[in-house]
Chains A and B, each alone.
Chain A
Amino acid sequence: MKRFDYIRPVSVDDAVAAFRPGAAYLGGGTNLLDLMKIGVIQPDTLIDLGRIAELGPIEMLPGGGARVGALVRNSDLAYDRAFAAAFPMVAEAILAGASGQLRNAATVGGNLMQKTRCAYFQDPHSACNRREPGSGCAARGGDNANLAVLGWSDACIATNPSDMCVPLAALGAVVEVQGPAGKRDIPIADFHQLPGDQPETETALQPGELVIAIRLPTEAADFARNARYLKVRERTSFAFALVSVAAALKLDGQKIIAARIALGAVAAKPWRVTAAEDLLVGQAPTEEAFARAADALLEGARASGDNGYKIELARRAVIRALQMSAAGTPKRMPALPASPFGDVAEEHSHV
C-alpha cells in the first residue's frame, strides 16, 4: 500500500476544504482499504469522515420521507425500526449484502460509492479502461459471466455491485452532495454513470464533492405494504448478486395503482425503466402482467460475453419479486433476507 497522509476533519466544510487532487474520502474503509491494499487505488491523503457528527443522523421526515446521513452504518439503517417499517425493501437489500461484520463498518455514502467487483478492475496487471483509461478491457475476452447485459459499451462491461442502491433507485432517492462549489441534489438515476467511452467516470460527483446524505421522497413510503428485494447468487449468503430485483406495488384491492421496479447486477447502475412500471398501472397483479413489465424492463438487453443467461434469469427474477411483493411485505425480516428459497406467500403481514 502506498504511504498516505491521514486527516480527520470534524465538519463537512473542513473535509471539503482539505480536499485536493489525489486525496480520497474514507467512510468505513471496507472497499477503499481493500483496493488500496491491492494497489488499485493509491490516494496520497485520506480524509476520514468518521468523526463528522453532521453526517450521522437518520431523520424520518414529516409526510413520510426520510433523510439518512452519509456516515450511517449499513446495519444501523437496516435495523432502524422506523426506517425499516417505511422502506422495508431497503432494509432487506442491505441485510442481503456483505456480512454482519462488514455491514457494521460500511457507511451509506461508501455503499453508494463502492467500486465494481470486476476481477480485472481489481488486478492492476490487467488491462482495464475503468482503472486506466485507454488500456483496454480484459473482461471482454476473459471471465465475464457475471458482467453487464444492459447499458454496457465496448469500453467497459462492468456492473455496479451494490444491493442497497437497487431499492433506492426504485424509490427515486435523491443524493445530497457538497463540494467546493457548494451543495446540490443529484437524483439517484443520474448518480451512477453508464460507461460509454469514459468508464473511468463512475459517478456524477465532481472532484472534491462528497455525499452528505440520501433522501427518500414522501411518495416512497407509499409502497411499504408491498415491497420486496430478491437476490439471486451462487450461495445463499455472503455473495454478490448475479441478478437482483427491488419490486414494490401500491395496491387497491386487486388493482395496481403504482409500481416500482429496479434490477441490480445487470448494468453499471441500478436499472430502472419507468415505462415498464407504467404498464402495471390499472392491472391486476397477475403473472402475465408481471411478465409484460419484465420484458419492458429488459428491452435492449444483450450478452456482453458468457452472460446471456442473466437476461432470462433477470426476467424470471422480476416476475418472482413482483409476486413476492404482491403477497405482502413480511411481518418480520425473513431469516434469509432476499432469498429465492422462501415461499412466495410466507409469513406476510398485510394480506
Chain B
Amino acid sequence: MSYSISLTVNGAQRRVQLDDPRVTLLDLLRERLDLTGTKKGCDRGQCGACTVLVDGRRINSCLALAVTLDGADISTIEGLADGDTLHPVQAAFIEHDGFQCGYCTPGQIMSAVGLISEGHAGDDPERVREGMSGNLCRCAAYHGITEAVVDATRRMAETTERKSA
C-alpha cells in the first residue's frame, strides 16, 4: 500500500508519496526532503536533537510517523531565518555561546522557539532550564543556552510591545 500525504514545510507545499508507513518525520526530512539541519541523536525521544515544530508545537520528529501528519505545517531550523536576518533565538545563541560542537543546536533552537511561544517560562532562568530539559547537550553548553533563551525571550517580548504600541 502506498500513502500520499501533503505537508507545508517551512512555508512551501510538499506532496510526498510514501511507499512505506514506517518513515518517521525525522527520516522524511533528512533522507527525502534534503533538510539535514534537523539532527538524529538517539532516535528514541531522549535527546531532543530532532525537535521541530508541527502546527507550531515542538515535538520530537523521531517519534512521529510521517504518514500521521497529512496536512500538517512543519517548521525546521532551515526555515527560521528571514533571508540573511537570523531569528532572535539564533542570534542569541551566537551571542551567548549557546553551543560548542553544534550538533544539538538546531534542536535546542527549535525547542526554544516552541518554549517561548508556549509562554509559560517567561524570562525566569529556572523555568527556562526546566522547559528545555528535553534537549540534551553533550558539550554541556547549558549555561549559554539558558542565557540565550532568556535573552531572546526578553527581546521578542520587547519587539511585540513595540509593534503593539
Contacts and interface: CB of A to CB of B under 8 A. Distances in A.
Interface of A: 1, 3-6, 8, 26, 28-30, 33-34, 37-38, 46, 48, 50, 75, 79, 98-102, 104-105, 236-238, 333, 335-337
Nearest to B3: A6
B134 A102 contact: yes
B130 interface: yes
A199 B135 CA distance: 34
Q: Which residue, of A8, A101, A105, has the highest number of chain B Cβ atoms within 10 A? A: A101
B68 A29 contact: yes
B60 A102 contact: yes
B59 A238 contact: no
Interface stretch (B9-17, B84-92, B120-128, B152-160): B120-128
B21 A33 contact: no
Q: Which residue, of A3, A4, A333, A335, has the highest number of chain B Cβ atoms within 10 A? A: A335
Nearest to B121: A335
Given A1-B22, A37-B43, A101-B48, 9 more contacts: A3-B20, A4-B22, A26-B65, A34-B63, A100-B132, A102-B59, A105-B63, A236-B133, A336-B126
B149 interface: no
A237 B129 contact: yes
A5 B67 CA distance: 11
Contact of A100 (B20, B63, B134): B134
Nearest to B115: A100
Contact of A30 (B60, B67, B126): B60
Nearest to A35: B44
Given A3-B22, A101-B59, A237-B133, A48 B48 contact: no
B1 interface: yes
A335 B134 contact: no
Nearest to B127: A335
Given A99-B133, A100-B115, A105 B59 contact: yes
A50 B114 CA distance: 21
B22 A104 contact: no
Given A100-B115, A335-B130, A105 B67 contact: no
Contact of B68 (A1, A3, A50, A75): A50
Contacts, number: 93
A101 B26 CA distance: 14
A102 B130 contact: no
Give the secondary structure class of B's interface: mixed
Given A6-B3, A100-B58, A336-B126, A34 B44 contact: yes
A104 B57 contact: yes
20 contacts: A1-B22, A4-B22, A6-B65, A29-B64, A29-B68, A46-B21, A50-B68, A79-B118, A79-B120, A100-B58, A101-B48, A101-B59, A101-B111, A102-B45, A102-B134, A104-B58, A105-B63, A237-B129, A333-B120, A335-B130
A6 B23 CA distance: 12
A75 B59 CA distance: 11
Contacts of A102: 45, 59-60, 63, 134
Contacts of A98: 134
A330 to B, nearest CB: 13
Contact of A238 (B43, B44, B127, B133): B133
A176 to B, nearest CB: 24
The 3 closest A-B pairs by CB, nearest first: A99-B134, A237-B133, A6-B21
Nearest to B48: A101
B60 A105 contact: yes
B67 A6 contact: yes
Contacts of A33: 24, 63-65
B37 interface: no
B51 interface: yes
B131 interface: yes
A184 to B, nearest CB: 28
B58 A101 contact: yes
B1 A5 contact: yes
Contacts of B60: 30, 101-102, 105
A37 B60 CA distance: 15
Contact of B124 (A4, A30, A335): A335
A100 B131 contact: yes
Nearest to A333: B120
B21 A4 contact: yes
Contacts of B3: 6
Nearest to B24: A33
A342 to B, nearest CB: 10
A105 B3 CA distance: 22
